[in-house]
Amino acid sequence: MSLNASARRLGVDLPAHPSRLAPTLVAVIVGVVVLAAAAGLPIDWSDLGAIPGQLLHYGRLMFADPNWEKLPRALFETWRSISMAWIGAILCVLVSIPLGMLAARGVGPVWLRVPLRAVFAVVRAIPEVIIALLLLTVTGLTPFTGALALGIAGIGTQGKWVYEAIESVQEGASEAVRAAGGGTAEVARWALWPAAAPAILSFALYRFEINIRTSAVLGLVGAGGIGSMLANYTNFREWDTVGMLLIVVVVATMLMDAASGAIRRRITQGARVRDARRSPRGRRDVVGIH
């Protein structure tokens, strides 16, 4: 006996099966869009088979015998890229934290929240490279252009992170400050900010990690740093120097990510106390904090 027959015999109405029409239509539409996009591109699909061989060829040219003579200059340009990323992150934080707090519900008025969130959305929609190209006409081909582009581009994402972090704070502390007679500024300062600060600072460090990667791309459009050096030697087909530069970029990025990740974990999780061990004299001592 089927389940429906058993339910009818018992006088129980089973819910109707969910319709699969909407998900099926969405899948079909997405598939049609993907096929139309692939068909509209002038791609010679027969060239795909040659890609692995080309990658091995240029990989040997770059990494079989890297040219380490330009290493001091590469390290200097890498430092400039990291400096651009750091200055851009600081500019982003200084602007996005107050604006993001004003865009949060319960802090800023609705006539201010809506325009600020719209500005954040517009800034997020513009890539860093486009912002750098627009700034080149004003500031010229300088590392300051890259730092400013990174700072402006990060405001959209960092501002969104800030007001989402503020809105995720529990209402208990805010209600306590309001009950004590505090206004909106006091609630933001003494209730919302202490609770959301670890997450906001962690987001700021993560933005610094993103800026390090993006600063190399900005160098390709003339904003300075290791990206400009990489673009120049690629144009001159000096593949052994390009391989050395790629090694420097990868190692520097990994080191910065590891350092930033450790700091972010310390901010969000706090210091962890190691296991206490019994000292030779019979008392228990804390070994240390890290």
C-alpha 163/C-alpha 253 separation (Å) is 29
| Cβ(224)–Cβ(146) below 8 Å | yes
Question: pLDDT grade, residue 275 (50/70/90)?
Answer: very low
Scanning the structure block, which residue is given the tokens 């081909």? 141
Q: Rank 136-150, 181-195, 275-289 by mean pLDDT and report only the highest.
A: 136-150
Question: pLDDT grade, residue 279 (50/70/90)?
Answer: very low
C-alpha 253/C-alpha 50 separation (Å) is 31
Percent of the chain past pLDDT 70, that is, above it, reads 84
The CA-based dihedral angle spanning residues 84, 90, 96, 98, taken in that order and rounded to the nearest 10 degrees: -160
- Tell me the average pLDDT across 274-285: 48
Q: How many helices (DSSP H) and strands (DSSP E) are in the chain?
A: 12, 2
User: What pLDDT score does 284 carry?
Assistant: 47
| Cβ(192)–Cβ(101) below 8 Å | yes
Report which of residues 91 and 187 the model is more confident about. 91
Question: pLDDT grade, residue 134 (50/70/90)?
Answer: confident
Question: What is the fold, at CATH topology level, of the domain defined by 70-269?
Answer: MetI-like fold (1.10.3720)
Domain ranges within the chain, ordered by starting residue: 70-269
Lowest mean pLDDT segment, chosen from 150-164, 190-204, 243-257:
190-204
Question: Would the pTM of this model clear 0.85, i.e. be above it?
Answer: no
pLDDT mean across residues, the chain: 80
> Left if phi > 0, otherwise alpha if psi is -120 to 50, otherwise beta: which for 94?
alpha
| Cβ(275)–Cβ(284) below 8 Å | no
On the question of pLDDT at 202 being above 50, the answer is yes
Question: pLDDT grade, residue 272 (50/70/90)?
Answer: low
C-alpha 90/C-alpha 197 separation (Å) is 15
- Tell me the average pLDDT across 119-133: 88
Q: What is the pLDDT of residues 3-32, one digit of tens each?
A: 556 655 655 555 666 777 788 888 999 988
Lowest mean pLDDT segment, chosen from 111-125, 130-144, 212-226, 273-287:
273-287
Report which of residues 84 and 178 the model is more confident about. 84
